[in-house]
Structure formats: structure tokens, C-alpha cells
Chain A
Amino acid sequence: MIRLEKRKEPSTFWRIANPFLAVALTMVAGGIMFAALGKDPIAAIRLIFFDPIFSAQFGSYSRPQLLIKSAPLILIAIGLAIGFKANIWNIGAEGQYIIGALFGAGVALAFFPAPGWYIFPLMVLAGAFGGFLWAMIPAILKTRFNTNEILVSLLLVYVAERILAAMALGLMRNPDVAGFPGSRDLRRYEAAHNAELIAGTGIHWGVVAALVAVIFAYAMMTRHMLGYHIKLAGQAPRAARFAGVSPARLVVVCLGISGALAGLAGMFEVSGPGGQVRIEFASGYGFTAIIVAFLGRLNPLGIVLAGLLLGLTYIGGELAQMMLQLPGASIQVFQGMLLFFLLALDFQTNYRLRLTKGARI
């Protein structure tokens, strides 16, 4: 007789092993799917996971692109993971990302076309502040009126999208182009351009910021009192309260950090790879970052790996579409499998199968 038994302690081994196992299972199941579609599964998996990095034809272009695609994911996920550890669920990073971008672009457009070294730093501050401000709405509603931060932060994404559309059509619209929405191209405004720091590497200020955030998050979670409080509040809320941790303060801090980081990501995107405020500027980074945070086990180093992995599946997925004519939907299914297998495997982190003699009633 097989019986499920809850583990006394979650298994550390499976916590670490599961993401790798999930990737392996995704390759197998994805390979079967690609074969069923009549494509060479080995070639498809190679195009998705290896060619963006190692191919002689694409590598020199797609390696830097990997950093460009992954940096915002990592930056946002680092902030989200801090909150998730404390059971504070910011689901609306997408909205904070948009507002951060609008604040950053707003500063740039206000100064246009003046030169000045101080413009970009001001944009950085404005971007972080915008995201912070947008995250404070669910934070204050939660601490004051005990609303649910999951719902409030999520719904504010749709509000942010409407503000974005209004800005692209109105206040921030490029006055030099008649009839079309969208702001000036910030990449053509030198003082505001988040350019590559070293040509051909893809490293822009957003990549640097992601790296700094990872280091800070790691230090905070392992060395600082705040990190200890966050973990304590997540694992044993009652004990945390006895230890003098204020739940309200924690909500504000966690949402504030994640909002500011998401806002930064938006600002670096709009002034660099994105280039301009457009109605369709938001492309789901804020939501994908939630997957990155969990795939990375809410651990800063894990998040770096998870962010790179997800970025890889996007870039490799496009290559596979282009070279093998795989349908776009099959790539989305492939990415979905990754999360599905991870969640399924996580079951054995907390439970194990036991063989028992005889039936129990």
C-alpha cells in the first residue's frame, strides 16, 4: 500500500534539485511535443537552450540579448521574492513597472532637448519613486483598511495600462509626428539614453542595477535584521509578532522595495531597449517575474539563474520558430511545461511516498 506522508521538514535536497529536474522533464516532454508536430526534437531543444549562447551564427548577437531580456526579469523578481518570503504578495509588478517607466520618461521629456549629466540619474530616481508610489497604494490600503494586496496590486496593473495609453496618446505624445501615438524616441536623446555601457555586450545600466540588487538582496536576507524579520514573519507570523516585528511596517517595506525595483526596471527599459512610451510598452515582464521568483526558489542566486533560463527560452523559442517553423503556441506550451513540472515536483519537497503494510482505514 502506498501512502502519502507529510515531511516533518521540507526536504532541502528536493528544493534545490527540483528546478533542474523540471528543466530535464520539460526537455523530454517538449521533445515529444515537437516530435508530434513533425519537427526534429533534438534540433528544437538545441535551438532553444544552446544555440542562443553557443551558435557561431547567432551567439554573438543573442548572448547580449539574453542579458537585455533577463535583466528586467531578475530586477523585478528580486524585489518580489523579498515580499513573497514574508507572505506579502505583490502580484502587480507589471503596473509598478509601467508607472516607473512613465516617471522616468516624464523626467526625460520634461528636460528635452537640454543636455546634462544629471538628467539620467534624475530619471533613475524618478523611475524608482514611481514604482514605489504605485506599490504604496496596495500597501497603505492593506495596513489601513486590511484590503487584500493581491487583488489591489493586480487591479492596479489595468489602471496603469490605461494611464500608459493616455500618456502615449496625450501628454507624452511626440509633437513632431502628426496623428500617431507614442513619445519621442529616448534612444535619440543622448542625455536620457540608457545605452550599452560596453558596445556589443548588451550591458546597460539596468543589467548593472540587477546585479547590485542581487548582491544587496543576498546580504539583506542573510546578514541583516530586516531579512531575518522577513523570513520569520513568513514562517511563523505569531512568533514574529512576539519578537516585535510590526506586520504593517513589513508590508510597507516589502511592497516598497519590490515596487521601487519594478519601477527601476521599467525606467531602464523605456530609456534603452524599449526606447519610447508606447501604448503597448508593457510586455508582461512584471508577470513573468513572478515565475522567475518561484523558479529561483525566492533565492537571489536562484533568481539570476531562473531569469537567464527564462530569457533563454524566449530568445531560443524565437530561433526555433524561425529556423524550424515551430508554431509560436508550442513555444508557450513549452514554457508552461517548465512551471507545471516545477510545481508538480515541489509536491515531493513537502510530502513523500511511504510503503505501508495493509490497508489503513
Chain B
Amino acid sequence: MKKLLTAALLSAALATPAVADTTKVGFIYIGPVGDFGWTAGHDRARQEMQDHFGDAVETTIVENVDYGADAERVMTQMALSGTDMIFAASFGYGPDVNAVAGRFPNVAFQHATGYIQEHDNISLYDARFYEGRAVLGHIAGKMTETNTIGYIASYPIPAVISGINSAFLHAKAVNPDVTFRIIWTYSWFDPALEADAAETLIEQGADVIMQHTDSTAAVRVAEDAGVMAFGQASDMVDFGPTAHLSAIVDRWAPYYISRVQALKDGAWEAQNSWLGFADGIIEMAPWNDRIPAELQAEADALIASITSGEYHPFTGPINRQDGTPWLAEGEVAPDADLATMNFYVEGITSDLPN
């Protein structure tokens, strides 16, 4: 038995240098790389990472992979083809990542925005999108003339709900009359559905459209209808030069480079990273010229205070939608609350789907 263990350790030690040559890194995406949004953001980072390492890294991608059996199969095939590290770039891959990671303990798994971590070869990583949403909410609250903001939401999961809450709180802070209209699409990428949702919201009086879905459809609809919109995950200004006020732009590249480097150094281990403005993982797309200069300055100041840690977007007093207290005066939301957030804050009029 002891001999066997020694042999196993030895072979593991011998296997490590192989990683040092060419590291094979696979990516699976929920949407097409041409979504100009979420998946485009991850693929941008992949290319930057590839450029950084040059020949020392070989990357491969599979796009449009559905959650469930399909994702499990694609990741298994990647592992079988000698991939050292797999980035699963969507929330819903959680159970599949864990199933495959259990069978391939020598492959390092990186799961974006996930919450299930049953094996020590799975790292979770996420961005504090609610920080960016606070800035969007502030701008939206000041820019709206109808006091109605439309929000296209994907799945009722904590990341999306905390985004809505953050945007609402900061819009409300600068405009007490503001109301949010929220439409759930139950999809990350469905341009037709997102366009329909945007049209419905505009009909209901919204003159600013926010989205937590990946396509550019809503920005285009907003441009045609002459209202304002924010892009998602990438700068979508090309799809609505007048309408597009800004966007939270995801910058995963520094993180991807550090994780691949760690693997090459033999220093990779499972982590759970939640990164924000301070880490450079998100930034705002250039302000549209129609945003008045003083509002641009306010937004810049808000970003600066979040970046420095001086201000947290969820600082009490904040009540839940039903009026029960959540955060006391001056209290800052614990990460655990945000990571499992399943309630709206006080003032949002619609009901959370359940």
C-alpha cells in the first residue's frame, strides 16, 4: 500500500513538468462568442490570456453549450483530450462542473458565478456586478424623465437580484419618484425575447432600459424607440450610439492570466474569488456625451468611493420588500447575504417570481 502511494505521488510529481510546457486551457460558453455581451467578454479575456502566454498556452472553445448533459459531455471530452484547465463561463454549469471534476481530479476547473464546490479541483470566481449596478442606477435615476426604468432580467438568482436591488436603491436615492418595471426572460441569450421585453417596457413608459441578459437586442430597440439603455458585460455603444449611456464591462483577463500562471507554477489551488472595481475586473464603458458633465463627475466619484472601499453599495438602513429590516443604519451587507440574496428591497413594487 505504501509503495503504491509512493508510486502515485512520484507519478504526480513527474506529471507536473508536462504542464509547464504547453498548458491546454478549454472554455465552454453558454452563448455564441459573437453575442457582443457576456460570452464576448469571456472570449476577449481568453484572447488576452492567449496573447500573454503565446505558445506556452493552447486554448480551445466550445460555444452554445446547454446546461446539463451537454455541458457534462463537452467538459468530459475536453478532459479526455488532455486539457489541463477548464473555464466554465456560466452560472448554470454548476452541477455539471462538479460531476466532471469528481472524475478528473487532475484537471483544474474554474467556474464563473457558481456556488457549488464539492471537489478541491474547482475554483469559483465572480464579479461584484452590484457595484457597477449602483453606478447605472444612479445615472438612470437622474436621466429618466418618465421616472420609469425598465429592467430585463434573466434568472432569479442572487447575482441578478442583488443587481436589481443595487440599481434600484441608487436610482431611488437620487430620484424618490422612480419605479422599476422588471421582466424575466428565463434565458441568458435570446435576442428575440429580449427585444420583445424591451418593447413592452417602453410601452409601459420606461425611458431607460437596463438588462441582465447577454444580447444587444434591447440596446437596438431603445435606439429605434428614442429612449436610453445600458449595455451588458461589453461596451454595446455600436448598437445604439445615441441610446447607449454606458455599460458594466467585464474584464476577466487579469484573473484568467493569474490562474493560468498559478497552474503553470504548480501553485494553483481551489479558491472562491469575488472581485470588483478595486480588482479591475469590472469597469464602466465610456459615458455617453448626453450625460451632463456634473452627473458624469458624480458617477466617477461613486466609482472612486466604491473602489477605495469607502462606500459599499449596500449600506443600511435598508429594509426588505415586506418592510422587515435587513441592514441597520450604517451596517454593511455581509457577503454571505449578497451571495444568497433572494428578496427585493423595500420600494420595488413587483413580486419576485417563485
Interfacial residues, chain A to chain B (CB-CB below 8 A):
57-58, 61-62, 65, 68-69, 161, 165-166, 169-170, 173, 177-182, 185, 269, 273-276, 278-281, 283, 315, 318-319, 321-323, 325, 327-329, 332
Contacts and interface: CB of A to CB of B under 8 A. Distances in A.
Instruction: Please name the 3 residue pairs, one residue from A and one from B, whose CB atoms are nearest each other, closest first.
Output: A273-B69, A328-B63, A179-B340
A275 B95 contact: yes
A177 to B, nearest CB: 8
Interface stretch (B73-81, B131-139, B230-238): B73-81
A321 B62 contact: yes
B155 A328 contact: no
B187 A280 contact: yes
B191 interface: no
Given A274-B68, A280-B92, A321-B62, A181 B155 contact: yes
B73 A57 contact: no
B62 A328 contact: yes
A322 B74 contact: yes
Contacts of A329: 32, 34
A166 B184 CA distance: 12
B342 A61 contact: no
Given A61-B80, A179-B157, A280-B187, A318 B62 contact: yes
Contacts of B161: 179
A180 B157 contact: yes
Q: Which of B78, B156, B341, B342 has the most CB of A within 10 A?
A: B156
Interface string B143-185: 0000000000001111001000000000000000000000000
A275 B339 CA distance: 24
Given A169-B354, A274-B69, A279 B155 contact: yes
Contacts of A165: 186, 353
B63 A321 contact: yes
A179 B68 contact: no
Contact of B32 (A170, A173, A328): A328
Contacts of A321: 61-63
Contacts of A332: 64
B60 A322 contact: yes
A276 B81 contact: no
Contacts of B340: 178-179
B346 interface: no
A263 to B, nearest CB: 18
A148 to B, nearest CB: 23
Nearest to A329: B32
A179 B158 contact: yes
A274 B96 CA distance: 10
Interface in B45-92: 60-70, 72-74, 76-78, 80-81, 92
A178 B158 CA distance: 9
A322 B78 contact: yes
A61 B77 contact: yes
Contacts of A177: 115
14 contacts: A61-B80, A62-B77, A165-B353, A170-B354, A177-B115, A181-B156, A181-B157, A273-B69, A278-B92, A280-B68, A280-B92, A283-B66, A321-B62, A329-B34
B63 A323 contact: no
Contacts of B342: 178-179
B41 interface: no
B342 to A, nearest CB: 4
A61 B115 contact: no
Given A179-B158, A181-B155, A279-B186, A58 B81 contact: yes
A173 B156 CA distance: 12
Contacts of A280: 66-68, 92, 186-187
A61 B100 CA distance: 13
Given A69-B73, A179-B158, A280-B92, 9 more contacts: A165-B353, A169-B353, A177-B115, A182-B95, A273-B68, A279-B155, A318-B70, A323-B81, A327-B63
Nearest to B157: A180
Nearest to B161: A179
B339 to A, nearest CB: 8
Q: Which of B61, B67, B72, B158 has the most CB of A within 10 A?
A: B67
B286 to A, nearest CB: 29
Contacts of A181: 155-157
Given A321-B61, A328-B62, A328-B63, A275 B77 contact: no
A169 B160 CA distance: 14
A170 B354 CA distance: 5
B52 to A, nearest CB: 19
A58 B77 contact: yes
A281 B68 contact: yes
A68 B69 contact: yes
B95 A276 contact: yes
Nearest to A62: B77
B26 interface: yes
A120 B161 CA distance: 37
B70 A322 contact: no
A277 to B, nearest CB: 11
Nearest to B339: A179
